[in-house]
Structure 1
Amino acid sequence: MNLVVPNTVKNIDGSLVTPEIISDDGDYEKPNVKWHLPEFINEVSFIFYQPVTVGKAKARFHGRVTQPLKEVYTVSYDVDGTVIKTKVEAGTRITAPKPPTKQGYVFKGWYTEKNGGHEWNFSTDYMSGNDFTLYAMFKAETTEKAVNLTRYVKYIRGNAGIYKLPREDNSLKQGTLASHRCKALTVDREARNGGELWYRLKNIGGTKAENLSLDRYDKIEYDKGVTAYARVKNAPGNAVWTKPYNTAGATLVNKLSVYQGKNMRILREAKTPITTWYQFSIDGKVIGWVDTRALNTFYKQSMEIPIQLTRYVSANKGNEAYYKVPVVDSPIKWGTLAKYKNQTLIVDRTATVEGQLWYRIRTSSTFIGWTKAANLRAQK
């Protein structure tokens, strides 16, 4: 403990009198007397001497200055990590601070441990001889009222729990919401527990309000056009829908296995809370929407690489086709290479699709399309 006491002893001329003896190994650094105390003591002191002349008589006057000490320690009040500190004398009662507040909770009291311990009684407990922390404890405030609402399970919340009381506690768990998907559910009571809103589903049990929706259907987060090709990867358990599954108006088209092995031209991409969906066509006919996780996408525009080459149609390749994208698919076939024989062709993009190298070609003035690199040669 470091202690500083200002020297206030002055000579008749107003100058400070230097202490000659300082207790407990103290030092004098004008104008302060300083101590470094390894432990608490009740007091410190210093002695000074001063010559005094009265008439022809001379004497040496001395005095002792004593500074009583109080044993003071720090109490820290911790409210969810926010700490306020105050000094309190040992052996005295602590003055209770203003009770803290927390939305959705009721203040219980101040405790000696972060997760409990002894509740501090400001009327009977006394400050100990050391620094310590008191932690604010809260309990969730539960308020309930009767309601009459209709809600639906959010698809992605199907595994959320159902509880006997509005509290996530495995001993109170009665099941999950999975079997209640796509059903109109009646909410007959709502409760706020620690700031969280809970609903009691009639004849079912309680669940967090965030697991339920006003709408029977999932919302589409975005819907945009894309250019890609894919094939079925995982048919079992997957189907094709007129719209992304569980959105308004979605009806079953067919099992996905019906389209196994076929080139699926991807037209649009949409996202719902469940997953991302592709709308596809086969042989120019729009089929429907499928979960992207069930497909293997073998071509997408990000596979294309800019390049600058000059090429010519190979002598025996005039009947070979060129396409809108680097995939052999009759609905996107734009023509054959015959009319470009003997012309200088510019290659501006390349893509490798399923091991096959493709070039995107044009003349100096006309965009042509994609053809296999094997249909072209480097020299005229």
Structure 2
Amino acid sequence: MSSVSIKEVAARAGVSPGTVSNVLNRPEKVAESTRIRVEEAVRDLGFVRHGSASSLRAGHSRTVGLSVIDIGNPFFTDVAAGVEEAASERGYAVILGNSSGDRLKEERNLLVFAEQRVRGVLITPAGADLAKVDQLKDRGINVVLVDHPATRADQCSVAVNDVTGGSLAVSHLLAAGADRITYVTGPLTIRQCADRLIGAERALTAAGHDPREALEELPMSAMNARSGQQAAEKLIAEGRLPDAVFCANDLLALGMLRGLLQAGVRVPQDLSLIGYDDIDFASASAVSLSSIRQPTHRLGRVATELLLDECDNPDSHAHQQIMFQPELIVRESTR
């Protein structure tokens, strides 16, 4: 059975082959009624375009690459959902790369993206060094930073103000009467962890506390529920429970909650606990978790819109560094 050609689709829809090509490659440039007519012809005739051939001609494919730190964290799952939604609306597919916070693995992801001739890349960097990101731009691949503010005017980024988020969390704990707070975090080489610590220290200073005395840092090697439970067990074993615990993400906080409850520590009567991200599980835990909410789905969607605008409109595109503000969500785990 011979394959259906673009000319046959055009004849069926009553449009030119160029219009069919626009629907396939730049649907946003075609009137909705025309686009629908062409898409119906594509379905009726069973037309399948030769993706690799069109990629070679254009120098890129109808795909974007997304590299995140931990796809097992619902935060990044929600970001990815926003990316996929926005990309799909423009006729793009998404190639996902999970770096696990490993710089070498991240570099391999970026190499695969380049080999696949992606139209652009969205990335939450595993570290502060963006040399590999700059190399992508040198190859002509547009890049948008996700959950990481750009420091250059010619780089688009979408992030959340984590300094403000850390301040919101600790200010809430202080208002509830806490004097001794433990910050359970991942490696402070992760920008988000470090910024949330800065915010926590600022809140303590503003309230008249010395952060060196009122705040203890408890860094863990991973930012998952198991590490959170291990942190709880460590605090309990050393007999030094604070008044409150601020966890750098909700997975740590949920693990901390499990460890505390198993040891008979009442939350919030004996200890207040707050997380960060406000993932779906936060409100469904045994003691519903107070948290700092981030607009995760919107992060992914807006970042993708910026990326595709830069790809499709290089002459008129204006680079933007968008900073969303977090929100305090109070539930049962804090007084």
TM-score bracket, normalised by the shorter chain, equals under 0.3
Q: TM-score by structure 2 length?
A: 0.24
Q: TM-score by structure 1 length?
A: 0.22
Answer 1 or 2: higher relative contact order, Cα 8 Å, separation at least 6.
2
Structure number with higher strand proportion: 1
Q: Which has the larger radius of gyration?
A: 1
